[in-house]
Amino acid sequence: MSEVGGYEKLAGMINVGQFRSRTCGGPTRRAFLKLGASLPLVFGRPDLLSAVETGSGPRAKSVLVVWLWGAPSHLDTFDPKPDAPSEYRGPFSTIATRTPGVRFTDLLPRIASISDRFALARSHVSTQSGHPDGGTVALTGFHEKPGPVQPNFGAIVARHRGRDGDLPPFLSVGRGIIQDSVRIVEGYGGGTFGKAWDPFQVVVKNDGSVDLPALDLLEGITPGRISDRRSLLKQIDVGRRRLAAAGIDDWERTYQMAYGLLANPSAREAFDVTRESESTRQRYGYTHFGQSALVARRLIEARVPFVQLNWSQTVEAITPNFDFGWDTHIYNFEMLMDRHCPLLDRVLPELMNDLQERGLLEETLVVVMSEFGRTPKINPRAARDHWPQCYFSLWSGAGVPTGGTIGESDRLGEHPLTSPITPLMVGTTISELAGMTTQDRAGLNVLPGGTLIDELF
Amino acid sequence: MNCSSRTGVTRPDRGGGPDLFTPTRLPAAPVQLILALLVLTATTTISAAERQLTDDHRYKRDPVFLDANTLIYVVQARPEQLQLVRRDLKSGKQRPVHKDETRSELEPAVSPDGRFLAFLQSRSAASVGMVIEDTRQQTTAEIPPASGFAGMRSPSFSHDGKRVLYVFAEGGRQKVFSCNTSAGDRKVLVDASGICNWPSVSRDGRMLLYGSTRDGNYEIYRASALDGSSPQRLTHHRAQDVRPRFSPDGRRVVFVSNRDGNREIYVMGADGSGVTRVTEHPERDDYPTWHPDGKRIVYVAERKGGFDLRMRDLP
């Protein structure tokens, strides 16, 4: 490793190449660049992105948000109401968990068997019942309108931490920027910090192969061009224009991040699940979410400060050309039974076990959450609609107390019986566990008025 | 039909079974290695009584026989699409049923004479229609989605192939309906409280089999195929008993249950007697369908994180 910007030092040699290869893991295109020491002189000061001083070590060196996009039914998963009337309770039975007095539906037996490793919060509330708005509130703590849109919790932690090494500090693992059938979620990224603080998108396929869309910025760079300074500068101008067209003003940071990522073999390895044993990959399962979770674990292992692992890109559970989110206005019980819960029940315990066995859980905060819950009362189509008045989250790692519950919902799961947990509290708590103080937040002008979920401290 | 109250977890467990969860870990590496070796040494044969039919490991569901040598089932072709595929069991060749279709299609059903294919088709946001395809005449009839978020489910054919049974929810009750092969003459067959699903008619046309939550959780019921009258509850377990299908001779029922901790396949007599577990694996076994000879089933086995079809002899 070079001391200069973290790039691989090749004694002045510039060795830049592209390849398209490997369908069974690792970056699949434009995924190989070795840059010489001269490049940082072109791309900016090498210390530009050095880590921000974070003071004493945070409890959570990394944060992993498992984003169940589309909003799972809380009654049919982690907050069942078996004694509610038939028009509420749904068809599933309940099973005991390792948390005394807590039962889950029988769709989640493996997660029930590790419930002592997380805290279950059952008293969330949101103020938005639509997906994009609800997603923004859940991920930023604030409404989209009136703007400006606030930064995603990941952007906040990333900016506080800065960049340490060649991996971006905020990565979104899944299939791209989250959206519904109409538009993207404004709160997916940098918000008031600017697009330069958007998450670095990591697109994962079922077989675990990874695509990094940001590397499109490097399209067209060839060894010949790199060795010709005039051509290189011309190419850089093309990249700059691409970024400007995309509304990204911090060209230098973004471009350097892409180069840094590709120039460092150890950074690239973080995305390469082929380095995992076959049995590990099988345990996660050869599904998009399973292999995405494995990539996310590797990124946590590489000490990325904030990873958002997306269940799906779109919310819709069954809609043409959308990838089966948790938005179950129809087929709620069938989709949960046939697909969503078995998949979650396979992947989440593997992820938690893996983090624990590798000693990562002590310093990694894992939060499983969504934008809201679903109607406790079954709708006319024998399914469930949006319900921001009450929903759940799971918290694990980073020393948070586990094996218990935070808050409680009423007998029908309609409202919290205890103090409600707001998205702003979620963001404030995540940032605090990630090492930010009130002063840090004020300094970045983020999460004003936020309070902590006390039970997690 | 009456709606009996559910007492949830405090109800006596007539079927027995574990109250707790299953062990958390999937097979450890050594076990998987042994399984892998077994698969390698036997090619696709898992045992003398079982054969693996596919090996692409993609997410699958809903297999059904078109004839003794041809299966139609659903595979996740893209992250956004469930696709109907047709597989010749002799050659192992498979192809999409609708080559140019980009929308999700699922839950295929085939009429006894193989002439009609019914299936669900995703049309727009949370809106799913049912298509009845006459493969002989190359025509289609359909029940389009109702307004708003709505969709049909679980089509199957009557014994004579003249009517299509399906389920649809209205007023919070998911009912069993039937229509003719032109998607007309729609009638309610079962209107019980809760959620009904997976209707299946015996080959002699007398009995209707379906799942229902009328008693609290998913159980399996048998009723008159003529009008849904005289329902008899066949299963009694607090776990989910789902996806029942009559054997070709009508004497047995194959179904899926998580009564032993995870989703496995069971068979029982047509009267609910003699429940026997067919599969046993820490991963999921689901979507059973009878081979036309009535001696075997095909099902989807989740193994080592992938999903493949297996065919198993039944005693």
Res B138 pLDDT > 80: yes
Backbone phi, psi, residue B97, to 5°: -70, -40
Given A181, A284, A337, which is nearest B305 (Cβ)?
A284
Task: Answer yes or no: do A259 and A328 share one domain.
Answer: no
Q: Give A388's Cβ-side CA count (13 Å radius).
A: 15
Is A316 in Cβ contact with B125 (below 8 Å)?
Answer: yes
* CATH assignment at residue A381: 3.40.720.10
The pLDDT score that the predictor gives to residue A32 is 32
Residues of B in contact with A378 (CB under 8 A): 172
Task: Answer yes or no: do A312 and A229 share one domain.
Answer: no
**pLDDT tens-place string over residues B204-247:** 999 999 999 999 999 999 999 999 999 999 999 999 999 999 99
- Mean pLDDT, residues B114-129 taken together: 95
Cα separation, B83 vs A320, whole angstroms: 11
CA-to-CA separations, A40 to A37, A103, A107, in angstroms, rounded: 7, 56, 52
Spell out the residues 6+ positions from residue A147 whose beta carbon is closer than 8 angstroms to its own. Answer: none
Res B72 pLDDT > 80: yes
Is A284 in Cβ contact with B8 (below 8 Å)?
Answer: no
Domain end residue (candidates: A265, A283, A305): A265
Question: Does the CB of B213 have a partner CB in chain A at under 8 Å?
Answer: yes
- The minimum CA-CA distance between B91 and chain A, rounded to whole Å, is 26
Full domain range(s) for residue A10: 3-54
The two beta strands, A119-124 and A405-406, are parallel
Domain end residue (candidates: A265, A288, A304): A265
Is A279 in Cβ contact with B33 (below 8 Å)?
Answer: yes
Task: Answer yes or no: do A366 and A451 share one domain.
Answer: yes
Residues of A in contact with B130 (CB under 8 A): none
Given B124, B173, B286, which is nearest A319 (Cβ)?
B124
Which residue's structure tokens are 């590797």? Answer: A298
Task: Answer yes or no: do A42 and A158 share one domain.
Answer: no
* Structural tokens at position B106: 């699922």
Best probe of the A interface among B14, B20, B37, B80, by most A CBs < 10 A, is B80
ipTM for the complex shown:
0.86
Nearest CA in chain B to A348: B24
Task: Answer yes or no: do A181 and A121 share one domain.
Answer: yes
Task: Answer yes or no: do A157 and A24 share one domain.
Answer: no
Is B305 in Cβ contact with A287 (below 8 Å)?
Answer: yes
Is B149 in Cβ contact with A350 (below 8 Å)?
Answer: no
Of A230, A347, A212, the residue nearest A291 (C-alpha): A347
Res B46 pLDDT > 90: no
Task: Answer yes or no: do A202 and A223 share one domain.
Answer: no
Is B151 in Cβ contact with A319 (below 8 Å)?
Answer: no
Cα separation, B201 vs B207, whole angstroms: 6
Which residue's structure tokens are 């090619």? Answer: B43
Which ranges of chain A have pLDDT less than 50? Answer: 1-55, 222-227
Question: Does the CB of B7 have a partner CB in chain A at under 8 Å?
Answer: yes
Task: Answer yes or no: do A375 and A289 share one domain.
Answer: yes
Q: pLDDT over 90 for what percent of chain B?
A: 82
The pLDDT score that the predictor gives to residue A265 is 74
Cα separation, B55 vs B73, whole angstroms: 14
CA-to-CA separations, B254 to A361, B190, B207, B248, B280, in angstroms, rounded: 43, 21, 15, 11, 15
User: How much is the mean pLDDT over chain B?
Assistant: 87
Dihedral angle computed from the Cα positions of residues B96, B102, B108 and B110, in that order, rounded to the nearest 10 degrees: -60
Given A86, A95, A322, which is nearest B193 (Cβ)?
A86
Contact B248, B290 (CB under 8 A): yes
- Structure pTM? 0.86
Task: Answer yes or no: do A166 and A275 share one domain.
Answer: yes
Res B44 pLDDT > 90: no
* Structural tokens at position A214: 């940001």
The pLDDT score that the predictor gives to residue A404 is 97
Question: Does the CB of B3 have a partner CB in chain A at under 8 Å?
Answer: yes
Q: pLDDT over 90 for what percent of chain A?
A: 70
Task: Answer yes or no: do A130 and A159 share one domain.
Answer: yes
Q: pLDDT over 70 for what percent of chain B?
A: 85
Task: Answer yes or no: do A154 and A71 share one domain.
Answer: yes
- The minimum CA-CA distance between A399 and chain B, rounded to whole Å, is 22
Number of domains chain A contains:
3
Contact A208, A273 (CB under 8 A): yes
Spell out the residues 6+ positions from residue B86 whose beta carbon is closer than 8 angstroms to its own. Answer: B66, B70, B71, B72, B94, B95, B96, B97
Beta pairing partners, A184: A179
Given B24, B263, B306, which is nearest A349 (Cβ)?
B24
- Mean pLDDT, residues B79-108 taken together: 96
Best probe of the A interface among B21, B62, B241, by most A CBs < 10 A, is B21
Domain end residue (candidates: A11, A28, A54): A54
Residues of B in contact with A95 (CB under 8 A): 19-21
H helices present in A12-144, as ranges: 39-43, 86-89, 109-112, 131-140
Given A87, A96, A381, which is nearest B149 (Cβ)?
A381
Task: Answer yes or no: do A207 and A304 share one domain.
Answer: yes
